[in-house]
Chain A
Amino acid sequence: MSEQIRVKIADYAVKKEEGMLITVGLGSCVGVALYDSFAKVAGLAHILLSDSALFKTPSNPAKFADTAIPLLLEQMISVGAKPIRLKAKIAGGSQLFSFERSMTSVGEKNICAVRNVLAVLRIPITGEEVGGSVGRTMKLFVQHRKVVISTVGSEEREI
């Protein structure tokens, strides 16, 4: 059975053994795929913003890099993953709009925040496709812990 779980914006999901986690349309958002190959536990988060501390009352912790990744990690641990075995692949953080409201785009901030959070948690990044100016769809095949990226008008590729 190859069940699919669709991860929406500012959301995350965990899947064990087999099937696929997919998140569609990462623009400045960053998709974080984590997996433990030994326990066959995979998780995917679709992060909208870098830092929950920027807001007085952050309503949804799954929205921010600093709160979403620990939440994802916690849920993966609860179904058998071990932090020390985890590997990460990340995608997204692009700049679709060419306005320069600030020096650093939201996408770049998101990438940077995700890298920092993963570094603090000591989870190595083993593959990535970040930056640029196109939207991406990210698929994580649980059984083969394969991460595939697609963009409008190009072939799917593994990272």
Chain B
Amino acid sequence: MGLLTEKKANEDYIIIIGCGRLGANLASTLSDEGRNVLIIDKNKDAFRKLSPSFEGLTVNGDATELDVLQEAQISKASVVIAVTNNDNVNIMVAQIAREMFQIQRVITRLYDPEREYVYHEFDIDTICPAILSAKEIDKILSETGMSKCEFQEEKQ
């Protein structure tokens, strides 16, 4: 933890919960950008997904336990990102971070967009892969559609 205390608290300290593909990727990228990153996962082997250049910290434990979050010094975090593969865990951790530790910036990944309902009033940023993918595919479709139109216009 010495690494963190050297810098001023709250300035730039990102906690990522869940070291899956998304969590590990994000942690590695942010660490490469020179930011303070701590990643939590209950499965120790998950940390192997981190890139060799990852310079942040890892905590092995269940992030739904308050003790584990305290060990990660969550109250000093500027951002908490919940990206485990379990929506309900992400929802609970996000609400704990916001309500118990007053973290202003909380970002969550939810597979099921309908569950966002439960913390709607908390103003937690939610990423939903299905919706993002649909938008992206729709964009590609409309782009190809547009190019068709243009092609036809040119012909006329």
Q: Do A and B come from one complex?
A: no
